[in-house]
Amino acid sequence: MYDERLTVPRSWWLLTIVGGLSLALVMLRFSAVGALVALVVGAAGMAAALSSYGSARIRVVQGSLVAGQARIPVDALGSAEVLNPAEAVAWRSVKADPRAFMLLRSYVPTALRVEVTDPDDPTPYLYLSTRSPQKLADALRTARRGAQR
């Protein structure tokens, strides 16, 4: 139904080179071979970190919303509000509730705020960074209709 991976921007991959070079410069003081090893290890470490950070996914599957590590049945969710970039900044800063579940990626300017209607869940809402908030809201609405049948 809906599947999105919150990958990091392409420009961030330059950090792998910067991280590797930084570590290589530190190790160059000791030996050229150490610097070469540090370059490879530093670049690989940065690549792994960026890949891990950008592996967060949002999916609507089998009557559930899966956002990162969270899995919530769609019948426990209420209305969804599409947030433009200005509203997204407000909801992740001054309007934020510390009890809210946030799948936040600062490099994604738009988001979706979804109310949690389950009375046993203390989480008031979900804040989900997404590049396609309207598509996600539509997928949740469709999944909710399917779950009610």
Q: Is the model's pLDDT at 76 over the cut of 70?
A: yes
- pLDDT at position 149 is 63
Query: What are the strands of the beta sheet with 101-103, ordered from one edge?
Result: 77-83, 111-116, 125-129, 101-103
Q: What percent of the chain has pLDDT over 70?
A: 98
pTM: 0.83
Band (pLDDT 50/70/90 cuts) for residue 54 is confident
What ranges do the domains of the chain cover?
A: 2-53, 72-148
